[in-house]
């Protein structure tokens, strides 16, 4: 009887909490917004490529205040915010502007499970935009800059008995600062979108031993049938051992051991290769031990795949996947949501756009000037889709022209701006290194913040020689990197050609179709060209694809259509912004896309 009463009380408390929160504003929303449970927000383990069994999710309702920059911590808070949705989003429950003159303060309590006693407690942030300071029980424990990468603090020394207090302060100057920000601006319009401030990915706790695995970097070599593991461990001593087990389902393929800190190479006999058509992943178990006693165990995965380039028998430099010519055809994916902005409402929603991209017959996604949560890349790995990863643009630009090779002066960043770019680009590459779906790095797009192009391209190539580098998508063009990437709207066109590099059209299309009831705003909705119904849009898409087939034979090795979904004022998506409607005929697009992809082999 007591248990039943307790259950009723807990249900009433949960219902009361839910009743206090609701989406803000009157903008359109996705179907997943109504499925949100404030007591169980994004409950999936945030980092599947490096997974432990025990963790605690800190998503949910936190207290928040928006104060002038530099103000003291609030003594009382403005209200509640649903973490991890950005302050400006509807699903945060706040939907307020912040700007460079103000800061956001977050606060919540949590309890460390008693079973975690004598463990080190790691506090993880998936991503916070942009400058973050963190306090535990009133003690400032650290800070981080960068809006797109995860960061972690060991909070063990600052814990007390009972409830713990976590306080976070965030400042984000949006386009008043030089930092990478993607499409965010203070006054969104056209191709520029609403600012994103604060916590926008999962916050979580994890217990570990003092000796634990901090990072795993995997590098596959299909030519040698090997995979290399670089395992970084905390507090390891001479004599500690790392053991890696590779599995195909429940079958153990190989096992190897190395001293902690040493690189470990494993041979994979009769390797199954990963591709969009057959996205096979090997599972891994990695164990760190000291004096024969297990200290840490993580589960993960890797793929045997190779991205490269090679001149074909017609003298054209082609991209290859697993040593075979392979045409990469995808959509420009901005990764924005009408209700969560940067943050998908649910994991199902996060996965949905990838599934739909494959339904349309594409084998690739260009992740445009945004970096996603780790689970998005794992979905790409598991579903089988190639990814071109952009560096989010920041700062300013000058002398953009995309009709010829650059002859003017490059943009000159300040020393501070350049340092921010280099730090964040390296952190992004480190964060995403082991995801096999990513095959191309894109340091610059359409000259936004483009500086020292040759130097940055060379560094990117040297830092990760396992992938291709598309140094300047859409200009400014320099004869550097692996790819010449043209942008041309609305129809695809080859107006430049480089005989010594891969040639692609990194953006084309942008066929607009505004649909009432599915628009972010009324009036002034934008597309490169606009039509009145699905048939007209599909007909135009097919006409462009027929032109693209000719250009494949002429030398293109990849193409990207703009874009996956409508975004705010842009109405040129394959789907509406709320993902309710496919605006094109999926079967017709799938058929012509398949023809474009296979044109390379005709």
What is 196-247 written as a DSSP string? Answer: --EE-S-EEEEEE-SSEEEEEEEEEETTTTEEEEEEEEES--TT-EEEEEEE
> Are the beta carbons of 181 and 175 closer than 8 angstroms?
yes
- For the cut 70, the answer to whether the pLDDT of residue 19 exceeds it is no
Q: Which two tokens stand for residue 323?
A: 């040593």
| Residue % of the chain over a pLDDT of 90 | 91
The angle at the Cα of 494, spanning 491 to 499, to the nearest 5 degrees, equals 160
In this prediction, residue 168 carries a pLDDT of 98
- pLDDT band at residue 306 using 50, 70 and 90 as cut-offs: very high
Q: Which of 360, 500, 368, 345 is nearest to 34 (CA)?
A: 345
- Read off the tokens for 537: 């849009």
Closest CA to 183 of 579, 568, 571: 568
pLDDT tier at 523 (50, 70, 90 boundaries)? confident
Dihedral over Cα of 213, 217, 222, 225: its sign: negative
How far from 379 is each of 235, 293, 362, 376, 435, CA to CA, in Å? Answer: 32, 34, 15, 5, 10
Question: In this predicted model, what pLDDT tens digit does every residue of 197-256 receive, in sequence order?
Answer: 999 999 999 999 999 999 999 999 999 999 999 999 999 999 999 999 999 999 999 999
pLDDT above 90 (res 407): no
Q: Per residue, what are the HEC states of 518-580?
A: CCCCCCCCECCEECCCHHHHHHHHHHHHHHHHHHHHHCEEEEEEECCECECCECCCCECCCCC
Predicted local confidence at residue 410, as pLDDT: 86
Nearest C-alpha neighbor of 339 from the set 42, 576, 24, 46? 24
Instruction: Identify whether the C-beta of residue 207 lies closer than 8 Å to the C-beta of residue 175.
Output: no
Cβ partners under 8 Å of residue 214, min gap 6: 232, 233, 234
CA distance 506 to 504: 6
Q: Taking residues 52-81, report their average pLDDT.
A: 97
Domains of the chain from N-terminus onward: 31-208 (2.60.120.260), 212-302 (2.60.40.10), 307-598 (3.20.20.80)
pLDDT-based confidence at 400, cuts 50/70/90? confident
**Mean pLDDT of the residues in the chain:** 94
For residues 53 and 283, give the distance between their C-alpha atoms in angstroms, rounded to a whole number: 15
What average pLDDT does range 448-465 have in this prediction?
96
Assigned token pair, 441: 């790095």
Of the pLDDT bands very low, low, confident and very high (cuts 50, 70, 90), residue 399 is confident
Residue 82 has pLDDT above 70, yes or no: yes
For residue 39, count CB atoms less than 10 angstroms from its CB and return exposed for 0-12, middle for 13-18, buried for 19 or more: middle
Angle at 435 between CA 434 and CA 438, to 5 degrees: 120
Give residue 594's pLDDT.
98
Which two tokens mark 166? 């976590």
- Residue 9 has a pLDDT of 42
Token code pair at residue 453: 């192009």
Order of strands, sheet of 241-248, starting from the edge strand that comes earlier in the sequence = 50-51, 293-302, 282-290, 241-248, 251-259
Whether 3 shows a pLDDT value over 80: the answer reads: no
Q: What is the pTM of this model?
A: 0.95
Whether the predicted pLDDT of 359 surpasses 60: yes
Helix (H) or strand (E) holding 326: none
Question: 14 pLDDT band (50/70/90 cuts)?
Answer: very low
User: In residues, how long is the chain?
Assistant: 602
Q: What is the dihedral of CA 94, 95, 100, 102, to 10 degrees?
A: -20
Strands (DSSP E) along 37-159, which ranges? 50-51, 56-57, 60-68, 79-83, 102-111, 120-125, 128-129, 131-136, 139-145, 151-154
Helix (H) / strand (E) containing 293? strand 293-302
Do the Cβ atoms of 159 and 114 come closer than 8 Å?
A: no
């Amino acid at each position: 009887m007591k248990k039943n009463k307790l259950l009723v009380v807990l249900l009433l408390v949960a219902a009361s909490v839910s009743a206090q929160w609701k989406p803000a504003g009157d903008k359109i929303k996705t179907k997943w917004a109504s499925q949100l449970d404030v007591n169980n927000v994004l409950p999936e383990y945030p980092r599947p490529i490096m997974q432990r069994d025990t963790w605690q999710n800190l998503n949910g309702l936190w207290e928040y205040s928006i104060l002038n920059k530099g103000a003291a911590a609030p003594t009382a808070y403005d209200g509640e915010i649903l973490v991890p949705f950005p302050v400006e989003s509807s699903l945060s429950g706040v939907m307020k502007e912040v700007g460079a003159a103000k800061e956001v303060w977050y606060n919540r309590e949590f309890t460390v499970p008693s079973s975690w006693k004598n463990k080190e407690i790691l506090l993880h942030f998936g991503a916070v935009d942009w400058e973050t300071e963190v306090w535990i029980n009133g003690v400032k424990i650290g800070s981080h800059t960068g809006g797109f990468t995860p960061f972690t603090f060991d909070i063990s020394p600052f814990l007390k008995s009972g409830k713990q207090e976590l306080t976070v302060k965030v400042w984000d100057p949006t386009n008043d600062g030089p930092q990478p920000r993607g499409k965010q601006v203070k006054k969104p319009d056209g191709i520029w979108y609403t600012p994103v401030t604060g916590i926008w990915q999962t916050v979580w706790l994890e217990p570990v031993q003092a000796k634990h695995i901090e990072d795993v970097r995997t590098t596959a070599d299909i030519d040698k049938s090997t995979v290399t593991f670089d395992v970084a461990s905390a507090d390891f001593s001479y004599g500690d051992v790392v053991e890696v087990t590779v599995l195909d389902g429940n079958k153990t393929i190989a096992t190897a051991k190395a001293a902690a800190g040493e690189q470990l190479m494993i041979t994979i006999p009769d390797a199954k290769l990963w591709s969009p058509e057959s996205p096979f992943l090997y599972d891994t178990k990695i164990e760190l031990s000291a004096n024969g006693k297990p200290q840490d165990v993580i589960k993960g995965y890797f793929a045997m795949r190779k991205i490269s380039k090679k001149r074909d028998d017609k003298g054209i430099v082609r991209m290859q996947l697993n040593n075979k010519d392979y045409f990469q055809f995808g959509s420009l994916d901005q990764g924005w949501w009408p209700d969560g902005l940067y943050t998908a409402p649910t994991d199902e929603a996060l996965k949905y756009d990838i599934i739909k991209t494959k339904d349309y017959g594409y084998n690739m996604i260009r992740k445009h000037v945004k970096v996603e949560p780790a689970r998005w890349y794992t979905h790409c790995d598991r579903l089988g889709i190639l990814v071109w990863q952009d560096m989010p643009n920041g700062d300013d630009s000058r002398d953009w022209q995309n009709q010829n090779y650059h002859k003017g002066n490059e943009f000159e960043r300040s020393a501070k701006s350049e340092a921010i770019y280099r730090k964040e680009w390296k952190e992004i590459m480190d964060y995403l290194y082991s995801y096999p779906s990513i095959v191309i790095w894109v340091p610059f797009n359409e000259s936004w913040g483009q500086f020292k192009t040759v130097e940055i391209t060379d560094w990117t190539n040297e830092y990760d020689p396992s992938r291709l580098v598309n140094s300047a998508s859409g200009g400014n063009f320099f004869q550097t990197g692996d790819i010449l990437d043209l942008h041309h709207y609305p129809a695809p066109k080859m107006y430049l050609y480089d005989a010594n590099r891969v040639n692609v059209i990194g953006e084309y299309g942008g066929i607009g179709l505004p649909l009432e009831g599915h628009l972010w705003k009324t009036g002034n909705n934008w597309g490169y060209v606009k039509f009145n119904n699905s048939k007209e849009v599909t007909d135009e898409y097919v006409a462009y694809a027929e032109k693209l087939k000719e250009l494949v034979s002429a030398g293109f090795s990849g193409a990207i259509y703009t874009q996956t979904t409508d975004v705010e004022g842009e109405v040129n998506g394959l789907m509406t912004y709320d993902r309710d409607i496919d605006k094109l005929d999926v079967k017709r697009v799938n058929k012509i896309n398949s023809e474009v992809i296979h044109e390379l082999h005709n």
